[in-house]
Amino acid sequence: MKKLTTFWFITTLLVCMFSSCSKAQETIPNNDESLTDKNVLIVYLSRTKNTKVVAEIIHKKVGGTLVELELEKPYPRDYKMIVSQVAKENETGYLPPLKTKIANIKKYDVVFVGFPTWGMQLPPPMKSFLKQYNLEGKTIVPFNTNAGYGIGSSFQTVKELCPKSTVVEGFSTKGGIERDGILFVMEGEKEKQVDVEIQNWLKKLSLIK
């Protein structure tokens, strides 16, 4: 009876050990061989420059290639006009053509995608990027700025557009409120606060030590 009990104890212990190893492999590796400047891409869309600052903070901490998404035909400057245009694009599923071209997307293993919340959704230009490039097998890291209403469905849409990628926990922070004429806010104490939040988020993801 004691031998049988010992056998089941050892078997259970081994199962738990292998289970733990399996879960550990699901985290993003952070050693020098797996995460380097060469395999990190940071792509962002920014209208009032708040998301740009967040992207730049991330870039300083993880390195890699920093790319701003630009359209072949830029959106109008007028806030009401862009709101109307984006609403139509979301309704029809139109994907605006990108001026930005990224060479050799295959070499990147970790892809950060940053964007503001537009109409509680993922902005159409970011949808264009995610549909245009093959991100299969890559780790996708979303980050967001918004007017205080949150991410809406944007992070969920990123997951839906990257079904063969590993989409990890995203980062979000309050930016400006363009509707009320409050544009760039990511400076001074606000920028310092966001820097600390990003540092903690990246550590949680095991992207930095």
Kindly report, residue by residue over 123-151, the tens digit of the pLDDT: 999 999 999 999 999 999 999 999 999 99
Would you say residue 140 lies in a domain? yes
The confidence band for 90, taking pLDDT boundaries of 50, 70 and 90, is very high
Distances, alpha carbon 148 to alpha carbons 52, 145, 172, in Å: 17, 9, 10
Would you say residue 30 lies in a domain? no
Q: Print the domain residue range for 129.
A: 36-204
Give me the pLDDT at residue 21, please.
31
d(CA 40, CA 12): 39
**Hey, which bits of 47-147 come out as E strands?**
65-68, 110-116, 139-146
Tell me: pLDDT of 17 over 80: no
Give me the pLDDT at residue 25, please.
31
* CA angle centred on 134, ends 161 and 159, rounded to 5°: 20
Tally Cβ neighbours within 10 Å of residue 63: 16
Would you say residue 17 lies in a domain? no
- Domain harbouring 41, CATH code: 3.40.50.360
When comparing pLDDT for 167 and 20, which is higher? Answer: 167
Tell me: pLDDT of 157 over 50: yes
> Could you give the 3-state DSSP secondary structure of residue 68?
strand
Give me the pLDDT at residue 8, please.
40
The one-letter amino acid code at 112 reads F
Tell me: pLDDT of 102 over 60: yes
Would you say residue 24 lies in a domain? no
Would you say residue 1 lies in a domain? no
The arithmetic mean of pLDDT across residues 10-28, rounded, is 37
Question: Which candidate, 175, 191, 126, places its Cα nearest to that of 154?
Answer: 126
Question: Which candidate, 209, 197, 207, 165, places its Cα nearest to that of 28?
Answer: 207
Would you say residue 88 lies in a domain? yes
d(CA 37, CA 208): 12
The arithmetic mean of pLDDT across residues 81-97, rounded, is 97
Would you say residue 200 lies in a domain? yes
Strand 40-44 vs strand 110-116: parallel, antiparallel, or unpaired? parallel
Secondary-structure breakdown of the chain: helix, strand, coil percentages, each rounded to the nearest 5: 45, 15, 40
Report how many domains make up the chain.
1
Would you say residue 2 lies in a domain? no
Percent over 90 (pLDDT), the chain: 81
